[in-house]
A and B are shown apart, each in its own frame.
Chain A
Amino acid sequence: MPSGKMGKVTRPIDATFTPADTQWVSVSPKLTSARRVLWALLMLIPAVAGVALFFVPNIEVWIPILVLVATVVAFGWGFWYFARRTASWAYAEREDDLIVVHGFMFKRLVIVPYGRMQLVDLAAGPVDRAFGIATLQLHTAAATSDASIPGLVPEVAAALRDRLAHLGEQRAAGL
């Protein structure tokens, strides 16, 4: 079974933005760790570049220091950002549709009727797999109704996908 935090909302979801009477399910906190690892790997590039700059002849010493300070700041911001972002993801299965909400600066809520789902994808990159999470992606005929739920524990994700695919087939409405 999924970790203990699944099935509970870890932080109150903005009541002025999202329907109140819905059973929200938040995503696994492992998502934060996975994103932080990816972010750390990405930050290695400017870090290495900054260190290498020290050894470049005829260069002002403040340039590599500036690069390293900027890298550290960006690294710290990423740690904070991904925690907030994970906490902002939530989804709810209602009788006729699925609601996905995410974002904390730019909030986004999408309601996808089961009958309009054309495809339900489940994907996991190498880092996600190492942390044991997967991303569920819903496709409709509209490109803008991009609804994805990252940070799902595999069992939950597979069950959700099968449930959605079944409901989608049952209520298929096409275009």
Chain B
Amino acid sequence: MTPDAPDRSTDLGTPPARLHPLTPIATALPIVAAIFAITLFAGGGSAWQQNVAGVPLALAICALALVVVTAYRYLLWQRCEYWFDEVGDLRIDSGLVYRNERKVQLSRLQAVDLERPLLARIFGLAAVKIDIAGTGDSKVALAYLSNDEAIAMRVDLLERARAEGRAEEPVVETILHSVAPSDLLVSLLLRTATAGLLVLTGLLIFVTVMTSGASGLLFLPFTGGIPLFIVVTEFVNLYGFTVAKAHDGVRLRYGLLRTQAQTVPMGRVMAVDIIEPLLWRRKGWVRLRLTIAGVAGESDDGSSQRSILLPVGSRAVADEILSHVLPGVVVEAVPLVSASSKARWRAPIQGARLAFGHTDEVFVCRRGRVTRHLSVVPHARTQSVSIVQGPWQRSLGLSTLRVDIPPGPIKVEALYFPAHQVQLAADEQIARARASRKGDWAS
């Protein structure tokens, strides 16, 4: 049963509610932990090692900080209320000194995600992150609710948004793929740069042992430490990567210490890059990255993770996910034009791999020999088309076609093609972009 517009005015309001009572302690503890770390390291850790008299003082500072921060957080918690108003929009009043009254228009709702940092998970809490259409401060968080409340809140928000006419289909998610931790770890170790540096580390250790000279060990932190650090951070961040299909796009969940949920709304995908590092090829693995409008501009701590659609998976899995992100596009079926032999003078290694092509929906370009890249951009996302040519390319009669898309990790460039061919392709691409925009629902 769908309620009529006049009836909704009485139905939709709810009484004001507070966040979970454990919120003050859950938000205060990370701050106190940071203060604890500072007292630990202040003065070179002397307070904890030699001078025993300093220990009670440091502990006292931490205890005081715990009390003060918790009290402050408690007052904040007390003053923070949320409810649905009579027209069904979410209202959040908060702030101790400066009162902040927010009204979240559910008609502009983009996505609702749940986030569980480690500490919150211990307390059984979750934060509801609400993403609304608009620039600037378009993110609202309800931190924290209990797990059950948060899940219910998410369903409630999505259902209310649907009643506003934002989404037509029921809120169901089907899991498309989960990345096995072992696959993730192996894939991270086998990335070209990482594997190369680790082999170099092995060589260094071997040489050091053979010659019993220690100077080679100076390089170990760089050749061994940095790649291992990257592998560990990526593993922790991308652990348990799950791709699910939801009514409004694809939903991603990942993270070991801090579970992140992210929605990739179908209309906001600007480009996808299919990446195949050298050592992944025997396993048939690929990685998918994407550019989403509005994500690259954020200074969010996880912006580089937020561009990953699939950290590792077989080609079949990648195709399945791609079919949900770019419906109706079969990447293998796109006819490609290879670069001429002249391109090898400009790019001896990747020259033979360079190619570009198009279908009615997408522009595709291929590059890279060691790490293969295949970039796909829908015509409707083409912002402008550029041709660039440096002196070396000019002497060979070549130039490069670039399809300009919103900022992100993906560059769409058809490198080193004969100048007249690029000129023709640029005009064709602009015409295709124009034609596709006319029938595009998102524009």
A interface with B by C-beta (< 8 Å): 16-19, 96-97, 105-113, 115-116, 140-145, 147, 173-175
Contacts and interface: CB of A to CB of B under 8 A. Distances in A.
| Closest 3 A/B residue pairs (Cβ) | A145-B384, A145-B404, A142-B383
Nearest to A174: B443
B159 to A, nearest CB: 27
Interface of B: 268, 270, 293, 381, 383-391, 394, 397, 399, 402, 404-407, 411, 419-420, 423, 426-427, 430, 433-434, 437, 440, 442-443
16 contacts: A16-B419, A17-B389, A17-B394, A96-B430, A96-B434, A97-B430, A108-B389, A110-B385, A111-B384, A111-B426, A113-B434, A115-B434, A115-B437, A142-B404, A142-B406, A175-B268
B383 A145 contact: yes
Given A17-B419, A111-B426, A106 B391 contact: yes
Contact of A107 (B388, B433, B442, B443): B388
A112 B385 CA distance: 7
A105 B391 contact: yes
B384 A147 contact: yes
Contacts of B433: 113
A17 B399 contact: yes
B399 to A, nearest CB: 7
Contacts of B437: 115, 173
Nearest to A97: B430
Contacts of B394: 17, 107
Given A16-B420, A17-B389, A140-B404, A175 B384 contact: no
Contact of B385 (A17, A111, A175): A111
A1 to B, nearest CB: 31
A88 B381 CA distance: 29
A140 B407 CA distance: 11
A16 B320 CA distance: 42
B365 to A, nearest CB: 14
A108 B241 CA distance: 41
Contacts of A115: 434, 437
Contacts of B402: 144
B407 A106 contact: no
A17 B391 CA distance: 12
Given A111-B430, A116-B383, 19 more contacts: A17-B389, A17-B399, A17-B419, A17-B423, A96-B430, A96-B434, A106-B391, A107-B387, A107-B394, A108-B389, A109-B388, A110-B385, A110-B387, A111-B384, A111-B386, A112-B384, A143-B406, A143-B407, A175-B270
A109 B386 contact: yes
Contact of A109 (B270, B293, B387, B406): B387
B144 to A, nearest CB: 33
Contact of B443 (A19, A105, A143, A175): A175
A68 B9 CA distance: 79
Contacts of A109: 386-388, 426
Nearest to B270: A175
